[in-house]
Amino acid sequence: MEEVVEGQSGGRRARGGGGAARRAERTAVKQEFTRFITRNIPNFDVLTEEALQIIEHNAETVLEEIGVNFVENPAALQRWRDVGADVQGERVRIPRGLARKLCATAPAQFTQHARNPERNVEIGGKNLVLAPVYGPPFVRTASGGRRYATIADFRNFVKLGQMSKWVHHSGGTVCEPTDVAVNKRHLDMLHAHMTLSDKPYMGSVTERSRCVDSVEMSKILFGADFVDQNTVMTSLVNINSPLTFDPIMMDALEVYAAANQACIISPFIVGGAMAPVSVAGTLTQVLAEVLAGVAYSQMIRPGAPVIFGAFVTSIDMNSGAPTFGTPEAAQITLGAGQLARRLGLPYRSAGAFCGSKLPDAQAAYETANSLNIGLLSGVNFMLHACGWLEGGLVSSYEKYVMDADQLGILHRLAAGIDMSENGQGMDAIREVGPGGHYLGCAHTQANFKSAFWKTDLLDYKPFETWEEEGARDTVALAARRVEKMLGDYQPPALDPAVGEALAEYVAKKKAAEPDAFM
């Protein structure tokens, strides 16, 4: 069973404007949180041993015969030469077996620390850590429609993450705060994660100096010694598929690996565009890319924590649009999980993926397909686990809470089936007998509170009641929940000196250079 702890993560602040009833309601608010998932169920292995060996063999062939490009990065090319790769121009051909051998120093599991130690997460092994959507330039709300995201939206999404009991991680770019200069928005984003949430977070990857800022701000939050000795960030390093490592992303990997901070090394693939149109071909390329990327991380610092990433969608051959929740994406997610486990690395994939423009049935079918497969694929770190809409262009307020509610289902499924004497329930069957009912029996009375996963959102009311209450659909219910969660939100306690130091760092860095919007 998952552990849901009702706790209070910060001091309650008096706020103006509410009446007595409203204050009383707010005082009763409890901020629940749940430990990351530790699976007590098997993974679903779709590839046979023979298929796995073929893909692994082919991936080594890709690395050896075709190679990968490390672009505008002479130091990287020298590192590859030093370990025995064949480097011609920017092309790095890696002898069979070398990359896998270099990967061996990467840990199979690591702890990412949060400023609240109760929120620390273990990434790898049988664990599954859920983090919100990453990257959308737009937001959508039920009342306001679709518009560019702002830093105010960003802070709202961080607050929703802090308030969501099944979400273990505050994430990174929960939306792009487009009203803040490109060269400064990472400061505001990090500041929001560090002050509005006490869950673990991700660092900036969009420029070397921003990675350094991420490390420096983390040192203010955790203490410099602590950051030197512990992993406090997991950041997203995308591979420019096919087979290309671009300089900005390698900068990020280099800064973070050197600082012993974790990176997700993640091919970003729309199948049929950035990888072969076939599942096995895509898996081959994913494996080759991850082998090269992880190997490179271990050249920077052996033992640096990294995650085998796989962001995969298929493509709609009519429109060229990426598609989500498809069977091909599911097969790749499942297969890549097997490859990651054989490589002994934590695995990142899946998410609340959908292509729909609205948080409607299409969005939910696509999302549920991906979430379910993510659980069964052995994913250890699920980015985009809530809030994703429209192919990742939009962070949806309503879908955030809709998805976050569904994440509770993954916790329950992962817990497996209780086979204790109480779980077997033989006393109940004996007590009730043929033709009876279980509602009042002793076993039901003793267990009903925790027996079933409970939604915080969905409607189970009788038709007539539901109709009288306005015949609300899921989006309407979610809009109400968003409003309540943001209203109930209270910031977690933070040492005022740390708060001041963070604010000072942000102000100083912002003042040091002019705004840039490119």
Q: How far is the CB of 320 from a copy of itself (least distance, A)?
A: 8
Cβ distance to a copy of itself smaller for residue 374 or 492:
374
Q: How far is the CB of 372 from a copy of itself (least distance, A)?
A: 5
Residues β-bridged to residue 347: 308
Q: Are 117 and 371 in contact (CB under 8 A)?
A: no
Q: How far is the CB of 36 from a copy of itself (least distance, A)?
A: 17
Cβ distance to a copy of itself smaller for residue 91 or 510:
91
Q: Which of 292, 300, 281 is nearest to 244 (CA)?
A: 292
How many CA atoms, within 13 angstroms, populate the side-chain half-sphere of residue 493? 8
Q: How far is the CB of 367 from a copy of itself (least distance, A)?
A: 7
Cβ distance to a copy of itself smaller for residue 448 or 493:
448
Cβ distance to a copy of itself smaller for residue 151 or 363:
363
Q: Are 133 and 373 in contact (CB under 8 A)?
A: no
Q: Cα(518)–Cα(510) distance, rounded to whole angstroms? A: 16
Q: Are 121 and 316 in contact (CB under 8 A)?
A: no
Q: Cα(501)–Cα(388) distance, rounded to whole angstroms? A: 33
288-309 residues labelled b (16+ CB within 10 A) or e (exposed):
bbbbbbbbbbbbbbeebbbbbb
Cβ distance to a copy of itself smaller for residue 376 or 382:
376
Residues 6 or more apart whose CB falls under 8 angstroms from that of 148 comprise: 137, 138, 139, 178, 179
Q: Which of 308, 323, 235, 244 is nearest to 277 (CA)?
A: 323
Q: How far is the CB of 322 from a copy of itself (least distance, A)?
A: 8
Cβ distance to a copy of itself smaller for residue 195 or 372:
372
Cβ distance to a copy of itself smaller for residue 107 or 281:
281
Q: Are 440 and 27 in contact (CB under 8 A)?
A: no
Q: How far is the CB of 197 from a copy of itself (least distance, A)?
A: 26
ω into residue 434 within 30 of 0, thus cis? Answer: no
